[in-house]
Structure 1
Amino acid sequence: MFNLTKEELEKNKGIKTATEIHQQPAVWKELVSTLFHSKDSSKEFIESIYTRHEQVRVIFTGAGTSAFVGDTLVPELRKQNNKQHVLFEAIPTTDIVSNPNEYLFKEVPTILVSFARSGNSPESVAAVSMGQELINDFYQVVITCNKDGQLAKNSKNDEKSLVVLTPEKAHDQGFAMTSSFTSMILTAYSLFTVNAFTGNNATQLIANAERVVDSVTGPIDEILNFDFDRIVYLGSGALGQLSHEAALKMLELSAGQVVAIHESSLGFRHGPKSILNEKLVVVLFMSQDPYTRKYDMDILRELAADESGMKVVALTEKEDEEVESLADWTLHVNHSKKDVSSDFYLALLYVIFAQTLALKKSIQLGITPDNPSPDGRVNRVVQGVTIYK
């Protein structure tokens, strides 16, 4: 996998993370099949809440990567939304738990959609308890990779709760969330989208993902020949939200040795551009939307003209001569004849690049990707959190 033998990955303690990145297309196939067979009952649960109330808040929540699932998903669902009385929001559990009265409103019917790999994070469990305590009409959807986690257990026999499990393989055993992230975001999308995630859309996405996991290594190995110790991920809209997850993957798997930040394509000029130097890589997630793409192209041209010595990587849907002439490395992720219909689908392909780059940079630095913090400073399931009444 990724030009590394099984023996090399085991020696560098990266076999779990590498497998979990590489397996994503196969996990998505299994997920699509599972969701297809349960879609009627799941949709019925959600639609019944919509029809019961004049207004409904849908809050996507989680901590860390689980929070970024909602951040990336909400722009697409807001764009699709044809039910004006339904409001989609993304609020991290870490914000809800520390400031519940700022986010949970007694008189507003609310569906709290919890994303959780383990389902045991104290903030995730507490956010649900606070919602039940503070909101009159409270419902929850738990999307988790662990059927034995506390969130799933607490929701059993609750008629106001729906638990949706991802495939078992999505329950990542490595430190960083990879296949769990993409599986949970696809699960939520299938539940709340007005466009059915089956048939051609799913087939095209999975086929492109298979090509990406098999082709991404060559360009990444070239990028790793450049000695960088800082990286910036840029994007617009949903891809700007995805850049937060991409930056976190590098920060986690490099154990902080690579400074990783994220920003929107337009926002980068407003201060964060100060980070430019000869040890920097800028990764630009380019939109497929013609209007939004204009702003991505502008920052790409600006970066290409910069004389700091940094390098630019552009991820784009299809081959583009101008992009290739401006960026130091260009990767296109759509290998089918059909156009990708939204940036949401591009996000699922782009994140594979970010995951793989973080994995290989971690190994290059002599860090163990499956457990990049062996001293216990950070943990796979967060520790040290006190929940106050």
Structure 2
Amino acid sequence: MSFMNEIEKEVLEGAKHTAREISQQPELWQEAFEAVETNKDVIKAFLREHVFSKNARIIFTGAGTSAYVGDTASPLLRRKLSNQVESVATTDIVSNPLNYLKPDQPTVLISFARSGNSPESVATYDLAKQLVADLSQIIITCNPEGKLAEAARQDEKTLLLLMPEESNDQGFAMTSSFSCMYLTALSIFQLDNLGEWKKKVQLACDNTRYILESNYKEIIKLVQLEKKKVVYLGSSTLKGLAQETSLKNLELASGKIPTFFESVLGFRHGPKSIVDDETLLFVFMSNDSYTRKYELDLLRELKNDGGAKTVVAISNFTNDDLRANSDVILTVPEDDTTIIEDDLIALNYLVFGQLFALFNSIHLGVTPDNPSPSGIVNRVVKGVEIYNFS
């Protein structure tokens, strides 16, 4: 039985959008990559003129999950690019624009947006134009009719990159919208190495199909443990992923299960106080051998602490050390010929987090497509007043 068959067995009308949007991701990733491949000359020319020739500062931005796209993408791009690369949420920029926007520094603002209509996202687009003398923008959005997309079409210094139509998620939580925008952000900086990158993207797609067909039952078993707190830990790029998966579970469970995220090394510095017998911990294991040493150390420490907590390692490898110090291992299939770095393995790890959030929501009696029917939290944020800045 496949993942979608399992959802259909539940006969839960309120889960159909979210389930479909999780399951469609491998196909949409291929479509998103092909869009970059098709438009590579236009993208390359824009980057050459506005980013690389000026050594411009790159700021990834968005609100909520859209901000976490940048948080997840930026660490490894800092290593790859000579440009200054940062990730700053629109919700920070709008309230304190001069803390983040430097008027005299050439800047490329890369905005992520599912709808393109969030008040802070539109305001950040306008504030950047108001405050930065040498500004170019890239809009990566799932909604061709959103305010950001419309603004981009009227600005010759803005590049508009539209995601596959189906990635404009109809469910409450961003799933395929997050992953398509994330993959696109990585791919536009791989244009000189597109052939090799394409092979790795295809492998990430194949891995996800396997997870959706074969691994979802392990996720259901974790949900049935009914732990009262869930912690997500990762290093660098995978810390950004921990933040996103933590939010997914919090959103889809309608806040019934507290969630927390932190870096692997940062967890010892106070946040570890959250752990008790009712805690489920997900540890995203890096494919970087140096980084992984610290993650294995933490697994050993958690094992030695004892108690009835459950520690789940999500990994692209297995060994005796990992087996001895984890209660459960969720494994992304290994490939003998290709090693996927953390930026792409994050896509596979993401799906494990999305599946847990979905099945946990169903188990708790929440409708994942609309976990906040009272309207306290909305699919597109409401009630934000934007003030003029001078």
Q: Same fold (TM over 0.5)?
A: yes
1-side partners of 2:198 and 2:231: how far apart? Answer: 35
Q: Tell whether 2:147 aligns with 1:146.
A: no
- Name the aligned partner's letter for residue 270 of structure 2: G
* Structure 2: runs of 5 or more not aligned: none
1:180 is matched with which residue? Answer: 177
Give the match's secondary structure for 1:248. Answer: helix
- 8 A contact 2:113–2:140 mirrored in 1: yes
Deviates more, 1:112-121 or 1:269-278: 269-278
Give the match's secondary structure for 1:374. Answer: coil
CA RMSD, 1 decimal: 1.5
The 5-angstrom pairing of residues 240-279 of structure 1 reads 240-279=239-278
Deviates more, 1:296-305 or 1:312-321: 312-321
Q: Tell whether 2:353 aligns with 1:354.
A: yes
The 5-angstrom pairing of residues 368-383 of structure 1 reads 368-383=367-382
Give the match's secondary structure for 1:295. Answer: helix
Are residues 235 and 334 of structure 1, via their aligned partners in 2, closer, same or farther at CA, if it must alter by over 3 Å? same
2:72 is matched with which residue? Answer: 72
1:126 is matched with which residue? Answer: 123
How far 1:190 moved relative to its partner? 1.0
Deviations 1:202-222 (A, max 9, x none): 222211121122222121122
1-side partners of 2:98 and 2:134: how far apart? Answer: 16
Match of 1:115 among 112, 116, 125: 112
Q: Tell whether 2:137 aligns with 1:136.
A: no
How far 1:388 moved relative to its partner? 0.7
2-side partners of 1:297 and 1:3: how far apart? Answer: 34
* Structure 1: runs of 5 or more not aligned: none
1:304 is matched with which residue? Answer: 303
How far 1:335 moved relative to its partner? 3.6
The 5-angstrom pairing of residues 311-350 of structure 1 reads 311-350=310-349
2:166 is matched with which residue? Answer: 169
Over 4 Å off, 4+ runs: 3-10
- 8 A contact 1:58–1:89 mirrored in 2: yes
Give the match's secondary structure for 1:115. Answer: strand
How far 1:347 moved relative to its partner? 0.7
2-side partners of 1:117 and 1:248: how far apart? Answer: 16
TM-score by length of 2: 0.95
Give the match's secondary structure for 2:381. Answer: coil
2:57 is matched with which residue? Answer: 57
Q: Tell whether 2:190 aligns with 1:190.
A: no
2:291 is matched with which residue? Answer: 292
- Name the aligned partner's letter for residue 150 of structure 1: K
- Name the aligned partner's letter for residue 140 of structure 1: Q
- Name the aligned partner's letter for residue 312 of structure 2: V
Task: Report the number of matched residues.
Answer: 385
How far 1:9 moved relative to its partner? 5.1
1-side partners of 2:198 and 2:272: how far apart? Answer: 42
Deviates more, 1:339-348 or 1:288-297: 339-348
2-side partners of 1:327 and 1:35: how far apart? Answer: 39
Matched-pair identity in %: 45
2:15 is matched with which residue? Answer: 14
1:26 is matched with which residue? Answer: 27
2-side partners of 1:22 and 1:338: how far apart? Answer: 26
Give the match's secondary structure for 1:243. Answer: helix
2-side partners of 1:256 and 1:338: how far apart? Answer: 42
Deviations 1:56-111 (A, max 9, x none): 11100000000000000011111111xx3x21110000000000011111110111
2-side partners of 1:8 and 1:134: how far apart? Answer: 54
1-side partners of 2:375 and 2:154: how far apart? Answer: 36
1-side partners of 2:226 and 2:164: how far apart? Answer: 38
1:91 is matched with which residue? Answer: 88
2:204 is matched with which residue? Answer: 205
